[in-house]
Amino acid sequence: MEQDPRSQNGGWTFLQANLGRSRPATGELKNFTSGPYDIFLLQEPYTVNGNLAGLPLNWRVIHAENGKTAILVRNSALDVIELVKSSFITAAQISDRNLSVTVISVYFPPSCDKEELVARLSATVSKLKSSCVIVGGDINMRHRLWGPEVRDHRSSNEGLPFVDFLLETRLNIWNDPASPPTFVHQGESWIDVTVASDVLDFAAHTWRVITGTLSDHNYITFDLGTVNVAEHVPKFRLNKFRLRKMATNISNIGSTLLEQLEKSGSPEELDRFVLALTTTIQEVCTNHLKHVSKRPKTVPWWDAELEVLRKRNSALKRRFLNTLEPAEKLRRKIAYKICRAKFRWTLSNKRDKSWTKFCEEVSKINEFALPYKICANKIRRPLVLGSIQIDGRPSTTLRDAIERIVQVLFPGDDDVLTESPVQKQRRLYVENYSSTTNDERFSAIEVRTALKNSKRRKAPGLDGIQYEVLMAINLKSPRLLVSLFNRCLDLGHFPRPWKKAKLVLLNKPGKDTSDPMGLSPDLLALYYEQGPGQVGRTAHFAPLPLEQPVEPPSAWFQGS
């Protein structure tokens, strides 16, 4: 039975929440009953020394120090680029293969000038120049467009500056005036809004208010659908019996593969053979090896007691809010607050005890393990690209940012201005190299030695073929790989499929993520693209001193 795409890659499910600087409300985000959610638009999050706290380490976070807004991305299948990061406005570009959305989280404090903050938000939207925008947040303004009229000392038309903003930017309000209130504290109010561009109106019907939270605000959720991502290459679960069975099936068709390899008389035919061989290995592995299944991520301290307390807390809150008789309402309010305090205390107590126990157990094994790294700030969090500068202006799309990063980190062949004297001398040696003798052919012993010396338990490349798979195939069919590498040598051609790699960017600690030089590139290539490089004489690639003769890699594939 096929799995739901959402269960594999997640989706575009949003949770918009004002946490009221509450630690229990922040801790509840990971296990919220109506979740899981992929993207969080937060206002007044819980912070310690101006930084977000109480969140999983693998979530991507956009938050200014001491800021009142934040954007969190839980779904690793979504691409994120930081656009704006300020005290009251946070913006990010979130995209998959089909959809790219500018997401903005805003907070207007009650004591600040609303017209000034609306003007600042309008300037931000105009500067980003995006045709697909979602703005969500707590604006502390009321209007009949997003909530019923509440008769008190505040004007029901105080939201007119925000209405002018909607008319100017042509954004549509998603709020339902008949929905439950978004703020409940000594009264009810509708001050949390969600607005979006016309192209996203298909998702407006998914907008709804969630009650029963640990904050004094009710939360808002909406859904843009499933994520469209590149097909995930599964990792295989390995054991000796299944590997031997897989390798036997490859050896049964080994003679056919070798015949096809001998018929590959041109670089194009060799490229097609490499693709066919890769596909064959993948199909055999799929039939005989089991895939590694992802386990659901849960917290060890959440138990049945907390689940019962949360449900009871939500029920008491509903009864309190739905009661009209004053004396009974006061009695139910007291019961609700007692239950809420007990739930918050129990949650914090269980979480802290579980963390203390974990730290003690880990520290007994290794004093410099995860707790030490967290305290020393040596944990590498997921990378969020900053606003990369292009010709003096910030990039507004992920594609432009990536192209600029690749241009800076991997200069073209024509860019020789940054070459060192050693690099220049080596390049000239390679370009002027010529030889009339054939290169020495690879031997089966070299292939076996290279595979044996390779590091085990490494992540597979883009083809999903792991080291152990190649090792098992070479033991059963020792002629296959060595014949392939020698065929490359005879044709003087390095197969094109082996030249494809996935660029993974790692953030350097303490470096500005808006500067391409602050990123560390890592290339994930096909696993047995490393074959010629490791089977061959590795001195060809090593940075040897110039006094020693350096045989260039291109000499491998120049033929006779």
pLDDT of 32 above 50: yes
Greater pLDDT, 535 or 467: 467
What is the per-residue pLDDT for 14?
A: 94
Enter the tokens of residue 146: 């997003």
Q: Where are the domains of the chain?
A: 11-226, 233-294+440-493, 304-376, 381-433+502-527
Pairing state of beta strands 11-18 and 39-43? parallel
pLDDT digits (tens, 9 = 90+) for 70-89: 999 998 888 888 889 999 99
What is the per-residue pLDDT for 414?
A: 59
Greater pLDDT, 537 or 531: 531
Q: How confident is the model at residue 164 (pLDDT cuts 50, 70, 90)?
A: very high
pLDDT digits (tens, 9 = 90+) for 471-514: 899 999 989 999 999 998 888 888 888 887 777 777 776 677 77
What is the per-residue pLDDT for 165?
A: 94
End-to-end Cα spacing for the chain:
54
pLDDT of 551 above 60: no
Q: Please report where in the chains the tokens 């000038």 appear, as a residue.
A: 113
Rg of the chain (C-alpha set): 30
In sequence order, the β-bridge partners of residue 505 are: 521
What is the per-residue pLDDT for 89?
A: 95
334-338, 391-395, 401-405: which has the minimum mean pLDDT? 391-395
pLDDT of 558 above 50: no
What is the per-residue pLDDT for 5?
A: 40
Pairing state of beta strands 389-390 and 133-138? unpaired
8-12, 68-72, 230-234, 445-449: which has the minimum mean pLDDT? 230-234
pLDDT digits (tens, 9 = 90+) for 259-298: 999 999 898 999 999 999 989 998 898 888 887 776 666 6
Q: What is the mean pLDDT of residues 151-180?
A: 84
CA distances from 530 to 297, 447, 477, 527, 538 (A): 34, 11, 19, 6, 11
What is the per-residue pLDDT for 554?
A: 33
Question: What CATH architecture is 11-226?
Answer: 4-Layer Sandwich (3.60)
Distance CA(528)–CA(464), nearest Å, equals: 10
What is the per-residue pLDDT for 71?
A: 95
Q: How confident is the model at residue 553 (pLDDT cuts 50, 70, 90)?
A: very low
Greater pLDDT, 381 or 241: 241
Q: What is the mean pLDDT of residues 374-387?
A: 71
Distance CA(308)–CA(334), nearest Å, equals: 19
pLDDT of 317 above 80: yes
What is the per-residue pLDDT for 451?
A: 86
What is the per-residue pLDDT for 151?
A: 67
Mean confidence (pLDDT) of the chain: 81
Greater pLDDT, 517 or 143: 143
Q: What is the mean pLDDT of residues 345-372?
A: 81
29-33, 285-289, 332-336: which has the minimum mean pLDDT? 29-33
Q: What is the mean pLDDT of residues 192-216?
A: 91
What is the per-residue pLDDT for 10?
A: 60
Q: What percent of the chain clears pLDDT 70, i.e. is strictly above it?
A: 83
Pairing state of beta strands 133-138 and 100-107? parallel
What is the per-residue pLDDT for 98?
A: 82
Q: How confident is the model at residue 546 (pLDDT cuts 50, 70, 90)?
A: very low
pLDDT of 179 above 80: yes
The structure's pTM equals: 0.68
Torsion of CA 251, 256, 262, 267, to 10 degrees: -90
Strand locations in 329-419, DSSP E?
A: 389-390, 393-394
Q: What is the mean pLDDT of residues 18-34?
A: 83
pLDDT of 552 above 60: no
What is the per-residue pLDDT for 169?
A: 92
CB 291 within 8 A of CB 3: no
What is the per-residue pLDDT for 219?
A: 93
CA distances from 514 to 126, 423, 506 (A): 21, 28, 13
